[in-house]
Every structure is written in structure tokens, then in C-alpha cells.
Structure 1
Amino acid sequence: MQGTEKEYMEARQQRSKTLKKIMSLVGVVSFGGTALFGMANMFKTAFQESQQVETVEVVSVEERLQKLEKGYEKVLEREPENVTALEGLVKVRLEMGDKERAIAPLEKLVNFYPDREDYKVVLEQVRLEVKENN
């Protein structure tokens, strides 16, 4: 009887080992699949968010420049000789790529301060660029 009992115990241990291996394999595959799915979802979401952020930034920069331009124009309606507003308007229009409209406030700055060489240089550069583009 001891032989049969021993064989039974060995067979039982073998089945137990096999069952443990199968359960371990199922656990590892499940964990790996879940981790991969989570990581793929994370990268997908991050990629979509980065595209949305870039679009929002571009729109917000353009809107910000337009708001700044309107603000400087309102100041200049009340105070036509406000140097800070004139300089800001020139800068904003140049950032927007609107060089033709930057010439008028630059001319005012040169007229108000004829001894300022920096205003004259910028005015001449802008005029040349406008002529080259036309």
C-alpha cells in the first residue's frame, strides 16, 4: 500500500506543480496585458493632449497680439503722443507680420524724437522689407 500511496502523493504533487505553473503563467500574461494596455492608453492620451495644447497656444498667441494691438490703439486715441503705446503698437504689429501698418506709428516716433537713431533704423528696415514684398 505504501507504493500506491507514494505514487498517489507524487502524482498529486505533480498536478499541483502543473496547476501552479499554469496559474502563474495566467497571472503573468494578465498582468502584462493590463500593463501594456494601460501604457498604450497613456501614450495615446498624452499624444492627443500635446496636439490640442499646441493648437490652443497658437490661437491664444494670435488672440493675445490682437488684444494688445486694440489696447494700444485705445490708449493712442486718448493720448496720441504716448511713446510707450506707440512702441508697443509697433512691436505688436511687427510680431503679427503686419509691417505696412507698423510704419505709421514708427513715423510718429521718428517725428517726436528725431535724434533717436534706433527709431530711424527700424523705420528704414521696415520700409525696405515692405518694398521688397510688393
Structure 2
Amino acid sequence: MASNNRKILLLGIAIVGTLGFVGPLLFTLISIFSGTEQAPAPAATSQNQPDPARTAQEIAGYQKILEREPNNPNALSNLASLYLQQFQFDKAIPLVERLADAQPENPNVRLQLAQLYQVTGKADKAGQTYDKVLATDKNNVGALIGKGDLLLAKGNKADAQKLYTQAEKAAPEEGKERVREYVKNRLNPPKPPAPPPGAKPETKPFAPAAKPDKAAPQAP
């Protein structure tokens, strides 16, 4: 599971605003509850690859700021984003937790924390954090779908469907179709494409059985 999450994150993780990141299920959804269409991430090139030396320097700078100001929101969010770009989730999560505690009135930060818990396999913490978001905003689309996915993963399809339906109703008009498409793919994952007509099934090369060793002659 962890390796699958990492593979999907490698394809779908994005940095949005001061602290915006999405996991395997919310890359599509970020545009739904932000009301904007997200462009696909550019292909990695030598020009847009982060410079390791510069990244290390930025990390050290934000760490020094946090030594003086432990709850500086810009330092917390930017440092977390740098760690996320390097997939150092164990270092990013505590920073986002501190940011969420420092900004209890900001449901977006807590939503992002729930997403991080979810993609790193901390399902219980993710569920509790989604509940906190929904306690202050019962129609938060991201939290409804994230919680629905947790329930679906546990086999509770009926309750997951209820949350998905609520999310579709709460989504802005221009986002409803995308919610429906997402939910459809979650409830009925597309089947792998069938092999073309006439294609031969893959067969393993024949390996002859090993011959038994000849018995050593016995001494008279």
C-alpha cells in the first residue's frame, strides 16, 4: 500500500499556494473545491529540477526561523512544502500539525493534514482529522470525499456512497460533473484493457527439470 501511494504521489503531488498538496485521490479534487482548473504538471527537465544545494540552504534557513519563531506560519508551510517535494513525509507531517494547531480557524490546513495522514497510511488519524473539518464545515467537499474513500477502503460502501452523494450536492455547479466522474471511478474502477484479438497469452519459457545427481559408487 505504501509503495502504491508513493508511486501515485510521484505522478500527482502538487504544491498549491503557500501550502497546498494533494495525494492519490485529491489531485483531481483540488480544482473542484478551489473552483479552478489545474494544469497538468510539466515534465521534469534539467531546467526545472530543484537544485539540491539551494533546497538544503532554504531548509536550513526556515529551520533557523522556526528556532526563533516556532509557530511562524510562512516558515512552517514553506518548510513542509520543501520536505514534501522530497517525499520526506515524516518531517513534513509534524510541521503541518503545528500549522493546523496554530490556525484552528483554517479548515484548509486541517484538510491538507488529513490528506497527508491518508496517503501515508494513517487511516485512523485521517478519519479523525476529516471529522474535525466536517464539524466546522459539514459540506467541505474534500473532507467528504476523503472520508468516503476511507470508508470504502474498509468495505463500508453504503456509508461511503452517502458521503459521495453529499459531496456532489455541496460541490459548485461547475465541479459536480468532476465529482460524479471521480466517484464513478472509485465505486466501479475501470477494468484493464482486454488484449487485442489474436494476441497470444504470455507464456513462460520452458525450463527442463533438473536431472538428479548420479549416486556415488559405493566402496566394495
TM-score by length of 1: 0.52
The structure that has the greater radius of gyration is: 1
| Uncovered stretches (5+) of structure 1, i.e. residues with no partner | 1-52
Residue type of the partner of 2:115? Q
Alpha-carbon distance in 2 for matches of 1:66, 1:111: 26
2:85 to 95, 98, 101: 95
- Cα shift at 1:94: 0.8
Q: 1:78 to 1:121 in 2, by over 3 A?
A: same
Alpha-carbon distance in 2 for matches of 1:115, 1:97: 27
Give the structure, 1 or 2, with the largest relative contact order (CA under 8 Å, sep 6 or more): 2
Measured on the aligned residues, the alpha-carbon RMSD in Å equals 2.1
2:102 maps to which residue? Answer: 112
TM-score by length of 2: 0.33
Higher helix proportion: 1
Alpha-carbon distance in 2 for matches of 1:123, 1:100: 12
Residues matched between the structures, number: 78
- Cα shift at 1:57: 7.2
Q: Give yes or no for contact 1:93–1:101 (8 Å, CA) kept in 2.
A: yes
Q: Give yes or no for contact 1:65–1:96 (8 Å, CA) kept in 2.
A: no
Alpha-carbon distance in 2 for matches of 1:102, 1:61: 19
| Uncovered stretches (5+) of structure 2, i.e. residues with no partner | 1-44, 123-220
Q: 1:114 to 1:68 in 2, by over 3 A?
A: same
Alpha-carbon distance in 2 for matches of 1:66, 1:96: 11
**Which 4+ residue blocks in structure 1 deviate beyond 3 angstroms?**
none
Alpha-carbon distance in 1 for matches of 2:120, 2:56: 21
- Cα shift at 1:122: 1.0
